[in-house]
Structure 1
Amino acid sequence: MKFETLNLSQDMLNNLEEIGYVKMTEVQARALPLILEDKDVVAQAKTGSGKTAAFGIGLLEKLNVKKFQPQSLVLCPTRELADQVAKEIRLLARATHNVKVLTLCGGAAFGPQLDSLRHGAHIVVGTCGRILKHLKKDSLSLKELDILVLDEADRMLDMGFSDEINEIFTFCKKRKQTLLFSATYTDEVKDIANSLTNEAVFIKTESSEATNKIKERFYEVGDKFTAIIKILSNFELENAIIFTNTKVEADELAQKLQNAKIDALAIHGDMEQYDRNDVLVQFANKSCPILIATDVAARGLDIKELSMVINYDLPHTKEIYTHRIGRTGRAGCDGLAFTTFGGFQRDKVDEYKDGTREFGDINELRNIEGFTMKPKFFTLVI
């Protein structure tokens, strides 16, 4: 289904064609018509499904640029995701004159955000904590808000932002459109969707199932680090994200890989924002092939072609597992997802056993002496 079948402005259609958006993804084809009809929407769609464009086009098509007040608010779980969402909305808004998209996130100085708010904004994208802080200080008003978007709602709830979301909702005017996007649809997501939306249309895309074109394999291992080296050396790959459950493990694993002459960088919530941005830029530009990440820090990272995801630690929940491996195998590409676990975790691993996942023997992989991984490029971050 093409974008031209929708009742979009010609300027928007021209811009979409220029940036290479011709055929809609499933979530766009199903959600956009409803969004344009002012309906509340709850959509289950995994990361990389094109959901940002789905709600981004809707926000822009309904925007009154002459009214220089926040008309749309997009809530995101992390700063990185908020930055990427704002970037894509700005790209979609190129053909619309004088649209101001403002990002409000923690980890950035409060003063410059105040100055930006004084000059006005049409669309605000941000994290719950910082948005709520501005609302309580009366530096941000949602009295003219027409659309509220919760992007990756399940992750916001996993991170404990339920109370903040509900409190932000009280600052909005009663009559508005609410859009909720989530990779998983847990009972908690269902509850908040029911409380925040009005007669919402529920959409579940086929691509929300994480098994599409992703080869999943589990290995029971004694030494996880040795297993990681085997996995990296036995499969041709350009890049990989290795997930750990703790910040300490992320730092330790990155250092051990570097000592083994495998270029790796860690990213987690204890790092300064500048350092996190530095790591993300290097990984995105293929200046570092391996990223070691905690779930929170990696949220919002958008790598179009990711060769492999490795779970160094078994995820706490199956929903987190779905989020992790959904970063590979995007846009029709094949993906690889490996999970290492100890013998004491066998009972928990049983939850993952189905007809699509393989359980292999790590000893079947070759021992490749002298294996190293070095970047193809170098990026200087100024």
Structure 2
Amino acid sequence: MTTADPNDYHRFLENIPFSTFNEMQLRFFRKAASCDGLMLLAPTGTGKTFAYLLPLVQQLQKMDTADRALVVVPSRELALQIEQVFKSLRTGISSCTCYGGHDMKMETNRLKENPGLVLGTPGRLSDHVLNGNLKPGDFSLIVLDEFDKSLQLGFHAQLNALFEQLNRDCRFFLTSATPLTSLPDLLPHREWETLDFLTDTASPGLDLKLVRTSSVEKATTLFSLLTFLSPDSTLVFCNHRDAVNRISQLLTENNFEHALLHGGMEQIEREKNLIRFRNTSRLVLIATDLASRGLDIPEIKQVVHYQLPASEQAYIHRNGRTARMNASGTGYLVLAHDEQLPEYLNRDLPEYDIPKNFSLPEPSSMECLYISGGKKDKISKGDVLGFLTKTGGLTGHEIGLISILETATYVAVPRQKVSALLKKTTEKKLKRIKVKLAVAN
């Protein structure tokens, strides 16, 4: 193998959300073509997905190869995110995404077509292996993304089911946002080339502030803080889903629009809430640590720790949602007087007093619309854009993020134009099928 020239990847820049590659990505590109086992250790939010996807695409697009790639990720949300990133590259390479809660038969039929890229969660991928739908030996490149998280979640048996049948000549890319002192025996490689970018434990652009309150007033203090911070995008972290639900109820009772995310929610509800936050129709997301790893949520201005995690690594991952890619951001720690800072924060932090004069913020200027058609109907983002401009009367720059799921599509549009848009599109056809539009509930 020859070492790749980073200039080979410049052709992808027109389809990705930044104008140049960072040092971590450039160093990964240089090593990718010459290593059979390459491990990338880098903080959340530094662009690891693009670092491994571009060499993967480069390999699959070679004229003299029939190579296929398998990407294994710990969560459904991350699988769906990588699928969107991969499709945004417009490579022409076929793909199949496999995860729990998705139509098993649809995945099975797609796998029969031998797509160039298969990505999914350990549980669903191992199910396909056991059912004979997926043959790990057919893949020449394996990517283990957020591998530490897969181990933490206890996917050893499922991963072993995949690795038992691997082609021993296959190449491995492995990524992690935490140090890996040892690797499990289930991995076929014993020697790894490692690129370690975990030397800095804090985001250089992150400004930390401490908000003191009483235990009784902690929730209302958070409400006051969020009211003052709005309309900037804010991610609030709790340790438990019960706390997420309690805060969500308080915000709902005070007519404060927000989204929420935790593992006890149905998958479609998790997806919809993430979509609302990504497309800025909701500017506040209340979440457990499910939102701290791997999810592509750009432009977050503030992270609020309503409850601090037990481990320093979890704390670092949370803060990695803001001050990403050398940007700046602010982290707020809401601490009751009877609570102690954990040992990993055993240092003086400036205290922040919430201003007294604030009022309930206006909702986001964008609203999220539901369209009753999706991937099953072969609807594309171009189809949605054309429908909303030609039939709905919007201009292209008024239309925000378009998210196409299997049976539904969600799109952000100006809130003030929703009523007129719904009237214009009633009983109209999108790509020859009659669709229903409504405000996403």
Q: TM-score range by the shorter chain?
A: 0.7 to 0.9
Question: Contact between 1:264 and 1:290, CA under 8 Å: does it hold in 2?
Answer: yes
What is aligned with 2:349?
Answer: 358
> In the alignment, which of 20, 32, 38 is matched to residue 23 of structure 1?
20
Task: Note the C-alpha offset of 1:39.
Answer: 3.5
Question: Contact between 2:210 and 2:333, CA under 8 Å: does it hold in 1?
Answer: yes
- Which residue identity lines up with residue 52 of structure 1 in the other structure? T
> In the alignment, which of 52, 64, 74 is matched to residue 49 of structure 2?
52
What is aligned with 1:201?
Answer: 193
Question: Contact between 1:82 and 1:300, CA under 8 Å: does it hold in 2?
Answer: no
What is aligned with 2:96?
Answer: 102
Answer 1 or 2: higher relative contact order, Cα 8 Å, separation at least 6: 1
What is aligned with 1:257?
Answer: 251
Tell me the SS of whatever aligns to 2:324.
coil
What is the distance in 2 between the residues matched to 1:371 and 1:328?
Answer: 24
- Which residue identity lines up with residue 95 of structure 2 in the other structure? V
CA 1:52–1:208: 2 relative to 1, 3 Å: farther
Question: Contact between 1:70 and 1:124, CA under 8 Å: does it hold in 2?
Answer: no
Q: TM-score, normalised by structure 1?
A: 0.86
> In the alignment, which of 153, 160, 168 is matched to residue 154 of structure 2?
160
Tell me the SS of whatever aligns to 2:326.
coil
The equivalences for 1:320-339 within 5 A come to: 320-339=314-333
> Structure 1: where are the runs of 5+ without partners?
none
What is aligned with 1:126?
Answer: 120
Question: Contact between 2:163 and 2:187, CA under 8 Å: does it hold in 1?
Answer: no
Question: Contact between 1:310 and 1:339, CA under 8 Å: does it hold in 2?
Answer: yes
> In the alignment, which of 128, 131, 135 is matched to residue 129 of structure 2?
135
Task: Note the C-alpha offset of 1:278.
Answer: 1.5
What is aligned with 1:6?
Answer: 6
- Which residue identity lines up with residue 246 of structure 2 in the other structure? E
CA 1:155–1:89: 2 relative to 1, 3 Å: same
User: Is 1:215 aligned to residue 204 of structure 2?
Assistant: no
Task: Note the C-alpha offset of 1:5.
Answer: 4.4
What is the distance in 2 between the residues matched to 1:39 and 1:174?
Answer: 10
Question: Contact between 1:49 and 1:207, CA under 8 Å: does it hold in 2?
Answer: no
User: Is 1:82 aligned to residue 89 of structure 2?
Assistant: no
What is aligned with 2:237?
Answer: 243
Once superposed, what is the RMSD of the aligned Cα atoms? 2.7
Task: Note the C-alpha offset of 1:61.
Answer: 1.4
- Which residue identity lines up with residue 123 of structure 1 in the other structure? L
Task: Note the C-alpha offset of 1:292.
Answer: 0.9
User: Is 1:377 aligned to residue 366 of structure 2?
Assistant: yes
CA 1:378–1:203: 2 relative to 1, 3 Å: same
Question: Contact between 1:42 and 1:181, CA under 8 Å: does it hold in 2?
Answer: yes
What is the distance in 2 between the residues matched to 1:15 and 1:350?
Answer: 44
CA 1:171–1:221: 2 relative to 1, 3 Å: farther
What is aligned with 2:279?
Answer: 285
Question: Contact between 1:81 and 1:301, CA under 8 Å: does it hold in 2?
Answer: yes
CA 1:89–1:369: 2 relative to 1, 3 Å: closer
Tell me the SS of whatever aligns to 2:144.
strand
What is the distance in 1 between the residues matched to 2:159 and 2:335?
Answer: 35
What is the distance in 1 between the residues matched to 2:55 and 2:185?
Answer: 19
What is aligned with 2:31?
Answer: 34
Task: Note the C-alpha offset of 1:154.
Answer: 2.4
- Which residue identity lines up with residue 74 of structure 2 in the other structure? P
What is aligned with 2:376?
Answer: none
What is aligned with 2:290?
Answer: 296
CA 1:296–1:18: 2 relative to 1, 3 Å: closer
Task: Note the C-alpha offset of 1:105.
Answer: 0.7
Q: Deviations over 1:236-283 (max 9, x none)?
A: 652111111222221221110122232112122222222222211111
Task: Note the C-alpha offset of 1:151.
Answer: 1.1
What is the distance in 1 between the residues matched to 2:18 and 2:360?
Answer: 40
Q: TM-score, normalised by structure 2?
A: 0.76
> In the alignment, which of 173, 176, 194 is matched to residue 170 of structure 2?
176
What is aligned with 1:269?
Answer: 263
Larger CA deviation: 268-277 vs 109-118: 268-277
Q: Deviations over 1:41-98 (max 9, x none)?
A: 1111122212111111111111267899872111112111111112222233x2x4x4
- Which residue identity lines up with residue 142 of structure 1 in the other structure? P
CA 1:135–1:118: 2 relative to 1, 3 Å: same
> Structure 2: where are the runs of 5+ without partners?
372-441
- Which residue identity lines up with residue 213 of structure 1 in the other structure? G
- Which residue identity lines up with residue 23 of structure 1 in the other structure? T
CA 1:141–1:285: 2 relative to 1, 3 Å: same
Question: Contact between 1:132 and 1:164, CA under 8 Å: does it hold in 2?
Answer: yes
Bigger CA radius of gyration: 2
User: Is 1:314 aligned to residue 308 of structure 2?
Assistant: yes
Question: Contact between 2:6 and 2:26, CA under 8 Å: does it hold in 1?
Answer: no
